[in-house]
Amino acid sequence: MDKTKFVLDEKDMPTAWYNIQADLPEPLPPLLHPGTKEPTILPPPLFVEALNEQEFSKERWIEIPEEVQAIYRTWRPTALHRAYRLEKALDTPARIYFKYEGTSQAGSHKPNTAVAQAYYNKQAGVKRITTETGAGQWGSALSFGCMLFGLELKVYMVKVSYGQKPYRRILMETWGATCIPSPSTDTQIGQKILAEDPDSPGSLGIAISEAVEDAGTHDDTRYSLGSVLNHVLLHQTINGLETKKLMAEQADVYPDIIVGCVGGGSNFAGMFLPFVRDKIDGTKPDLRIINVEPESCPTLTKGPLTWDFGDVAGMAPIAFMNTLGHGFIPPPVHAGGLRYHGMAPIICHLLKLGLVEATAVPQVATFEAGVTFARTEGILSAPETNHAIRVTIDEALKCKEKGESKVILLAHSGHGHFDLAAYDGYLAGRLEDYAYPEDKVKEALASLPEVPAK
């Protein structure tokens, strides 16, 4: 067996993030003000200026501050692995590699942007941050980042995940954050939703509205988002840059297929953006980049590409993205990090341009894939990551059928050590698939904002 693990030396870790906006063949549509419907920056009361600048920057490389690099080095660079045991179990000629982000203190890719955002807020004199979290990975990561820089943090956690994943809440509280279930009685939007539906399971859109309202009503507070926005995807590119360097210099391969899970899109975009540049410039025109989402929340595969709010209350900017409607309440699947009604505008833009593709998979099949991965590679993966593992396995089996030795790269976003209840449900046969709720989506899409044609 050849080498199974590839790791960069700390001195070779990237010192700048890659900004895809410098290389897009067509520029991104602007963000629109939720009131005027005119192009806008991110709302100044919510985000610090440094992050606003990064959101709209056209500079190809943005330097990573040394203070952020120093913290990155406590877990980065992360390793690239060759999945020999999985290949053998599948009896496939495909060569499967995965970049494992589960070794961070928070157990996922999320600290790549959480540490950066906490740093920029501290530099701007911010005392307190609010945010939302679905599965708890983002809330955990930002709790870690705020702890490092001495910032107060309040996390609005989607209620169904708050119940499913109590250990994520405990982790946040251990790092000093306050975590409450959303919708809550702490905000006006939360009170309104609970009055209409006392049993609301919550959604990322609702939790975003609560966190935005909280930040907007406190002078010492700023808001932080863990996915979707351009600056968040920017921070995540350190993973893709490491991976590209490792594959070229140590593994001596280039991927034919890259697979990752998407909810808001930051994890997978962070992996594939440095590679999609090669498709844009024509160096690797045949590279396939597959975005995988749940069948129960099929934003890219079923949602129209249109203007929509990023949150339920319509307080966030309007983005041009694939959406299921900002009022859509997704079914309570265990992949809480993938239960968002919209998608990162960058990913939607690249999908429209034909540079990436998307597919949706059912819940039970993803856990089947996750168990296969655990029983071969030994890593218990997050439910979100299992979606990407499912498609990685499917593509490897297609290679077996066709006798093709393609190189498949899996973006492995994090471990599932806090998701054992979900695995218990699968192993006991209690897990079920949730159908695409067409009636709920139709209802949510009826309330899209009216944006005048330009």
Q: How far apart are CA 16 and CA 250, in angstroms?
A: 21
Residues 130 and 45: beta-carbon distance below 8 Å: no
Domain boundaries, the chain: 5-9+76-107+230-439, 17-65+111-223
Q: How are beta strands 305-309 and 318-322 bridged, if at all?
A: antiparallel
Domain 5-9+76-107+230-439 listed as CATH 3.40.50.720: no
Q: What is the dotted CATH code of the domain comprising 17-65+111-223?
A: 3.40.50.1100
Please tell me whether the overall predicted TM-score, pTM, comes out greater than 0.85 for this model.
yes
Amino acid in the structure at residue 55? E
Helix, strand and coil in the chain, % to nearest 5 = 45, 15, 40
Using CB atoms within 10 Å of the CB of residue 375, give its burial: 0 to 12 exposed, 13 to 18 middle, 19+ buried: exposed
Report d(CA 179, CA 133) in Å as an integer: 9
DSSP class of residue 108?
B
Residues with Cβ < 8 Å from 179, sequence gap 6 or more?
133, 139, 154, 155, 157, 162, 169, 172, 173
Q: Return the axis-axis angle of helices 137-149 and 111-123, rounded to nearest 10°.
A: 40
The residues of the chain scoring below 50 in pLDDT are none
Are β-strands 152-158 and 128-133 bridged in parallel, bridged antiparallel, or unpaired? parallel
Q: Burial, 446: exposed, middle or buried (Cβ in 10 Å; 0-12, 13-18, 19+)?
A: exposed
Render pLDDT for 288-338 as a digit per residue (tens, 0 to 9). Answer: 999 999 998 899 999 999 999 988 777 778 999 999 998 887 766 555 556
Task: At 236, list the tokens.
Answer: 């995540």
Q: Is 41 exposed, middle or buried (0-12, 13-18, 19+ CB in 10 A)?
A: middle
pLDDT of residue 61: 98
Please check whether residue 369 is in contact with residue 393, taking contact to mean a CB–CB distance below 8 angstroms: yes
For residues 249-260, one letter each, b for 16 or more C-beta atoms within 10 angstroms of the residue's C-beta and e for the rest, the string is eebeeebbbbbb
Sequence-ordered list of residues with C-beta below 8 angstroms from that of 139, at least 6 positions apart, any chain? 131, 132, 133, 155, 157, 168, 172, 177, 179
Sign of CA dihedral 216, 218, 220, 223: negative
The span from the CA of 431 to the CA of 367, in Å, is: 9
Residues 6 or more apart from 151 whose CB is under 8 A from it?
A: 118, 121, 122, 126, 127, 128, 129, 145
- What pLDDT sits at residue 414? 95
Torsion angle defined by CA atoms of residues 12, 108, 20 and 277, in that order, rounded to the nearest 10 degrees = 70
